């Protein structure tokens, strides 16, 4: 089969090449992939993986071979899937990491959901956000755009932080700010996708009892906290990482349901054939894509 495999000497450290067919375990099914989604972090760190590795985690397609243990959907079922080796004509994936795509949902939209959508959904679930002030940094990216929509659905007052006015296109937040300019009241929850000096500044905006969930580090810069700057009188302020992607099938089904109902938009900013993966990767790294990049295998 063909797949996007790791090649440190190629553009974006990826190349389209032949790869072995997946060998599923009894609890895995095989998906005939029609669409894949590229995440900026995957592209950034592709070169650090062993050469020849089939890369990627987000895919949509049709079940070509159901799981041998009888779990999961039947052959012919359209699904979205989250698992290693997704950027290929066929992928083997745990039945607990797939969800059926509802009728009428674009498979390209379904492919855009798994990594970014699940991260946003599960991170927001860590706090009661109804009536709370939620700050999303890096809000123009894949995770950020899902987080803004889901936080508003959950009843939060959402502040979307972007790097430039052009990056705010399509965002429907209660407030949109450049960097942190104009955020003059404390916030209860921060979904941080930027890291670096902005994370340090965002910490100062956190209300007593609030929390920061560090999801990404798009700035690539260190965050330096002065001595005692993390100390706070009153209810504890916390900072933690977040990246729980275990048994994601039910949550992926929830996201697909929201899309089917018209309540959630994957906001795909780049579409093309997977032969153009290098163009999509370059645009992601240059941050010229609002939202997600989805490639068709047709």
Of the three residues 216, 241, 266, the one that is the final residue of a domain is: 241
What pLDDT shows up at residue 243? 76
The answer to whether residues 236 and 259 belong to one domain is no
- Give the structural domain span for 233: 127-241
CA 124 to each of CA 191, 199, 230, 235, 236: distance values in angstroms, whole numbers, following the listed order: 8, 18, 23, 20, 19
The pLDDT-based confidence of 96 (bands split at 50, 70, 90) is very high
Of the two residues 169 and 150, the one the predictor is more confident about is 150
The pLDDT-based confidence of 280 (bands split at 50, 70, 90) is very high
What pLDDT shows up at residue 11? 85
Q: Do the Cβ atoms of 286 and 31 come closer than 8 Å?
A: no
Cα angle for residues 112, 289, 221 (degrees, 5° grid): 100
Interaxial angle between packed helices 142-153 and 114-124, expressed in degrees from 0 to 180 and rounded to the nearest 10: 40
The answer to whether residues 143 and 236 belong to one domain is yes
What pLDDT shows up at residue 5? 97
- Whole-number CA gyration radius for the chain: 19
The answer to whether residues 137 and 231 belong to one domain is yes
Spatial distance between the Cα atoms of 120 and 139, rounded to a whole number of angstroms: 11
Q: Looking up tokens 């939202």, which residue turns up?
A: 291
The pLDDT-based confidence of 104 (bands split at 50, 70, 90) is very high
Q: Do the Cβ atoms of 140 and 290 come closer than 8 Å?
A: yes
Spatial distance between the Cα atoms of 104 and 151, rounded to a whole number of angstroms: 25
What pLDDT shows up at residue 221? 96
The answer to whether position 31 is within a domain reads: yes
What pLDDT shows up at residue 287? 87
Sign (positive or negative) of CA dihedral 130, 135, 140, 144: negative
Of the three residues 221, 241, 261, the one that is the final residue of a domain is: 241
The answer to whether residues 89 and 195 belong to one domain is no
Kindly report the number of other CB atoms within 10 A of residue 26's CB atom.
10
Beta strands 133-136 and 157-162 are parallel
Structure confidence by residue, pLDDT tens digits, 61-94:
999 999 999 999 999 999 999 999 999 999 999 9
Mean of the per-residue pLDDT values for the chain?
95
- Asked whether residue 39 carries a pLDDT value surpassing 80, the answer given is yes
Q: Taking residues 146-163, report their average pLDDT.
A: 97
The answer to whether position 122 is within a domain reads: no
The answer to whether residues 110 and 9 belong to one domain is yes
What pLDDT shows up at residue 189? 98
Q: Taking residues 91-110, report their average pLDDT.
A: 98
Cβ neighbors of 90 (< 8 A, separation 6 or more) are: 1, 21, 22, 30, 31, 32, 33, 64
Question: For residue 86, how many C-alpha atoms fall within 13 Å in the half-sphere facing its CB?
Answer: 31
Total number of domains in the chain:
2
Q: Do the Cβ atoms of 271 and 289 come closer than 8 Å?
A: no
CATH number at residue 191: 3.40.50.720
The pLDDT-based confidence of 19 (bands split at 50, 70, 90) is very high
What pLDDT shows up at residue 244? 81
Spatial distance between the Cα atoms of 205 and 128, rounded to a whole number of angstroms: 18
The pLDDT-based confidence of 263 (bands split at 50, 70, 90) is very high
What pLDDT shows up at residue 246? 86
Q: Taking residues 187-200, report their average pLDDT.
A: 97
The answer to whether residues 101 and 71 belong to one domain is yes
Q: Taking residues 199-209, report their average pLDDT.
A: 96
- Asked whether residue 290 carries a pLDDT value surpassing 90, the answer given is no
- Asked whether residue 179 carries a pLDDT value surpassing 90, the answer given is yes
The answer to whether position 215 is within a domain reads: yes
The answer to whether position 218 is within a domain reads: yes
Say what the alpha-carbon torsion angle 100, 17, 68, 78 is, to the nearest 10 degrees.
20
- Asked whether residue 23 carries a pLDDT value surpassing 80, the answer given is yes
């Amino acid at each position: 089969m063909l797949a996007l495999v790791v090649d440190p000497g190629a553009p974006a450290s990826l190349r389209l090449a032949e790869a072995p067919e997946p060998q599923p375990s009894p609890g895995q099914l095989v998906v005939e992939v029609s669409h894949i989604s590229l995440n900026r972090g995957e592209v950034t760190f592709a070169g650090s993986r062993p050469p020849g590795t089939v890369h990627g985690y987000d895919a949509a397609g049709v079940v070509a071979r159901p799981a041998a243990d009888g779990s999961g959907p039947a052959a012919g079922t359209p699904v979205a899937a989250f698992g290693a080796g997704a950027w290929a004509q066929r992928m083997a994936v745990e039945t607990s990491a797939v969800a059926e795509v509802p009728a009428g949902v674009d498979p390209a939209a379904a492919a855009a959901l798994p990594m970014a959508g699940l991260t946003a959904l599960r991170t927001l679930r860590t706090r009661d956000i109804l009536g709370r002030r939620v700050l999303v940094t890096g809000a123009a990216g894949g995770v950020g755009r899902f987080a803004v929509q889901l936080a508003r659905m959950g009843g939060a007052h959402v502040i979307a932080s972007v790097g430039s006015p052009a990056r705010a296109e399509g965002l429907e937040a209660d407030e949109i700010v450049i960097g942190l300019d104009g955020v003059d009241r404390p916030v209860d929850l921060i979904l941080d996708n930027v890291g670096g000096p902005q994370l340090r500044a965002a910490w100062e905006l956190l209300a007593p009892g609030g929390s920061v969930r560090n999801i990404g580090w798009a700035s690539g810069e260190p965050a330096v906290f002065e001595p005692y700057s993390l100390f706070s009188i009153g209810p504890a302020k916390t900072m933690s990482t977040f990246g729980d992607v275990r048994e994601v099938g039910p949550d992926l089904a929830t996201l697909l349901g929201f899309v089917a109902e018209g309540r959630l938009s994957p906001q795909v900013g780049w579409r093309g054939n997977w032969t153009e993966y290098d163009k999509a990767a370059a645009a992601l790294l240059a941050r010229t894509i609002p939202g997600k990049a989805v490639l068709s295998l047709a």
